[in-house]
Amino acid sequence: MSEQKTKVAEPRVDAPADHSTPATNPFQNFLKGSAGRNLGLVIALVLLLVVGAVTSGDRFLNLENMLTILRYASIIGVVSIGVTFVITAGGIDLSVGSVLGLTTVVASLSSVQLAATQSSWILMVVVALGVGALAGLINGLVVAYGNVVSFIATLAMLVGARGLAELISGRSTQIVNNRDFLQVLRADFLGVSVLIWIFVIVAVAGWFLLNRTTFGRRTVAIGGNLEAARLAGIKVKRHMVSLYVLAGVTAGIGGVMFLGRTTAGTSTHGLLLELDVIAAVVVGGTLLIGGRGTIMGTVLGVLIFSTLVNVFTQNNLDTSVQALARGLILVVAVLLQQRFATRGGRTRKAKLKPAKV
């Protein structure tokens, strides 16, 4: 019987597993970042300008029309800055249009104008900002401490503020007679309307507050994960109240600008403004589910919609077509947001459930 030699299998040495992160395309990383998203908005804005130039020619490209676009965007833009903070934190504010209308009515009351004439036109501004802040405070308290879903709470304020404005004004238009107030708000500085300068100042202040302060970081943290923010020591309820007050103040600023532009206060000011504001914020790249906000994107979103309205107006197109186009843009923006929110197999659908603050 021949001896059989059994071969002993040598241990197999596998190549070390590569746990390093796969190389990514730098261009793709750029597009995924805030700079890439803003670049897309800039391209969309430029395309709209090109369309306007081709269809309307010199009427569209002249300096006066460009300033008209900016003036139209200024009031919506100021209000949008405040709403950006609320949406970044995972909330919503449907009442800003009605609050704006209420501020114009209260600030243009004959008693307020008389007191402003005897003291200073700044009193009208203070009254408008105070009314807006008070409305925002009520919204914040109901949402944060009343545990009412922000959609319902601000919807109630939308109806209530509009009704209060109608009661105070008797559904009549109140003319602004304070000359100093009108002289300041209707003036130009360096050839540019004061309303545009107000928009620029509010946008810069909003960008700094969101991106360079603890207040902004807390806002993003609450929108990203409310429970984690609470465990990290953030006073979530107090912070949410301050965000709604901020939105109310920007609505008050918008009311002052409305008074300066129209020289009248009425309960119809700001009607459906909240829809334009939310559309501009969402198109700008702020996530509706919270956790990401961008002031620069909001500014670009406002400019895109105001330019779109101007292009349609220059070409005498029906307002129904304008509404359809804006609705399509908003739907596309939300679809893109959903794609970004679920990238890499990580979904954030759970955040859509209302959480107690």
CATH number of domain containing 145: 1.10.3470
Least confident piece of the model among 10-14, 74-78, 261-265: 10-14
Q: pTM of the prediction?
A: 0.85
Q: Is the pLDDT of residue 7 over 50?
A: no
Structural domain contains residue 310: yes
Return the H-helix or E-strand segment holding 265.
Answer: strand 264-265
Both tokens of 9, joined, read 């299998």
DSSP letter assigned to residue 2:
P
Comparing C-alpha atoms, which of 151, 148, 43, 41 is closest to residue 93?
A: 151
What pLDDT is stored for residue 18 in this prediction?
47
Q: Is residue 52 part of a domain?
A: no
- Region 221-248: mean pLDDT is 94
Domain-located, residue 247: yes
For residue 145, what are the domain limits? 57-341
- For β-strands 264-265 and 174-175, DSSP reports them as antiparallel
Amino acid 26: pLDDT: 63
110 in any annotated domain = yes
Q: What is the pLDDT of residues 53-104, one digit of tens each?
A: 888 877 888 889 999 999 999 999 999 999 999 999 999 999 999 999 999 9
Q: How confident is the model at residue 9 (pLDDT cuts 50, 70, 90)?
A: very low
Instruction: Encode pLDDT of 313-334 as tens digits.
Output: 888 887 788 778 878 877 877 7
Cβ–Cβ < 8 Å for 124, 259: yes
- Is 268 among the domain residues? yes
- 3-state secondary structure at position 264: strand
- Is 41 inside any structural domain? no
Query: What average pLDDT score do residues 24-50 get?
Result: 73
Higher pLDDT, 268 or 342: 268
Reply yes or no on whether the pLDDT at 347 is more than 80: no
In a domain, 39, yes or no: no
User: What is the pLDDT of the chain when averaged over all its residues?
Assistant: 85
> What is the C-alpha to C-alpha distance for residues 282 and 207, in angstroms, rounded to an integer?
16
Q: Report how far residue 146's alpha carbon sits from residue 140's, in angstroms, rounded to the nearest whole number.
A: 9
**Residue 348 pLDDT:** 44
Half-sphere exposure of residue 44: CA atoms within 13 angstroms, side-chain side? 21
Q: Is residue 261 part of a domain?
A: yes
Number of domains in the chain: 1
Lowest mean pLDDT among 1-10, 118-127, 149-158, 233-242: 1-10
